[in-house]
Amino acid sequence: MAHKSVFDASAVKSEFEVAGINPNFIPIIWKHVLQNPNCMWDEIPSLPVAVYSLLRSKFKPSTSTLHSALDSIDQTTTKLLIKLKNGEFVEAVIMRYDTRLGKYNGKPRPGGLRSTLCISSQVGCKMGCNFCATGSMGFKSNLSSGEILEQLVHATRIASIRNVVFMGMGEPLNNYSAVVEAIRVMTAPPFQLSPKKITISTVGVIHAISKLHRDIPNLNLAVSLHAPVQEIRCQIMPAARAFPLERLMNALRDYQACSQQKIFIEYIMLDGVNDEEQHAHQLGKLLETFEVVVNLIPFNPIGSLSRYKTSDDQKVAIFQIILRGTYNIRTTVRKQMGQDISGACGQLVVNLPGKGLVVNLPGKGSSRSADHITDIEDLRI
């Protein structure tokens, strides 16, 4: 039987329970593995003898390997290519923010350097959004909770991670149990991330949204809306047919009533498709009764897959002005990071044209100076 990741929490806890071993030793093991890459089990001090035997027979410190880490020219972004035990690859992206720069509401922004990790939940994605490179891969497999956590482990050895966003490859709520288990470990020792610093992004898997607040209170929810009417959503997001807009908005209304938290609305700007003034008014009317932050996302072209063009700066600015001025909806424009390494939003894809060869589709984006809020953490304010 293949050894599992020691970060597969349910498997570890189950084996400890069967063996009659105190589960309080598990965070000690995780902490040692975090601090000592490629460690041997016998190197962990002060564990009961039965623990060493169990670990050797059932678990590995890591079932994935960091295949490569590619830095952007400006050093703000590092894209991690991670090889799984089944030979597949996933990508995760570290984004570094200097919050000492700029102001918020006219006052100096508090804090300093911090890093956000964009994490994957699946190999590929079955949602098929036709503006997203990952969608071109199709769906290959779900990640285990250990494989999700190992992305954080690999990233922690490169940067001190303060925020985690499930905005990488895959639809997190289609791998619900593994994602929830991974987040529960992230919020416990030794990781100890606050749920308020973790964001799940979904295209709108209605039945899972309804469970999310109960299972993980205080988590951030981001919804990839991308269009204000069902017809356009289905055009650019085929999976939207399974999640009618009216039912989705009702689920979000119920979620907000329970959680009392802002919901982040992600809206990719596609020239001539969803970026006209009429679309801004439709979106404003759809959201005006909610507590939301709308994040306008400049489209990142994805090489030969691009059937869309990036909205120009003036269109984005007008769209933002309508949402803010007419509907009083807080609206930001996402700062683009990592385009030179194909690590920006919508560009994560792994192609394997030849054995052992890993290629990313090239992406070339535009730079923008529109009112950027730098990090998901700032959007909560």
Distance of CA 48 to the CA centre of its chain: 37
Alpha helices in the chain (DSSP H): 9-19, 25-35, 49-58, 145-156, 176-186, 206-215, 230-236, 245-259, 277-287, 313-327, 376-379
How far lies 311's CA from each of 32, 185, 268, 359, in Å?
A: 48, 40, 9, 27
How far lies 192's CA from each of 101, 121, 196, 262, 353, in Å?
A: 27, 20, 11, 23, 40
Residue tagged active-site, from 125, 129, 132, 345: 345
Q: What is the DSSP string of 118-152?
A: E--SEEE-SS--TT-TGGGG-EEEEPPHHHHHHHH
CB 294 within 8 A of CB 267: yes
CB 12 within 8 A of CB 26: yes
Catalytic annotation present for 147: no
**Beta carbons within 8 Å of 277's beta carbon, 6+ residues apart:** 318, 319, 322
Residue tagged active-site, from 91, 147, 150, 171: 91
Residues, the chain: 381
| Residue 250 backbone dihedrals phi, psi, to 5 degrees | -65, -40
Measure the CA–CA gap between 152 and 156, rounded to whole angstroms: 6
| Residue 56 backbone dihedrals phi, psi, to 5 degrees | -65, -35
Q: Could you tell me the two tokens for 302?
A: 């994805």
CB 294 within 8 A of CB 263: no
Catalytic annotation present for 118: no
**Beta carbons within 8 Å of 181's beta carbon, 6+ residues apart:** 9, 10, 145
Q: Looking up tokens 């799940």, which residue turns up?
A: 200
Enumerate the active-site residues.
91, 345
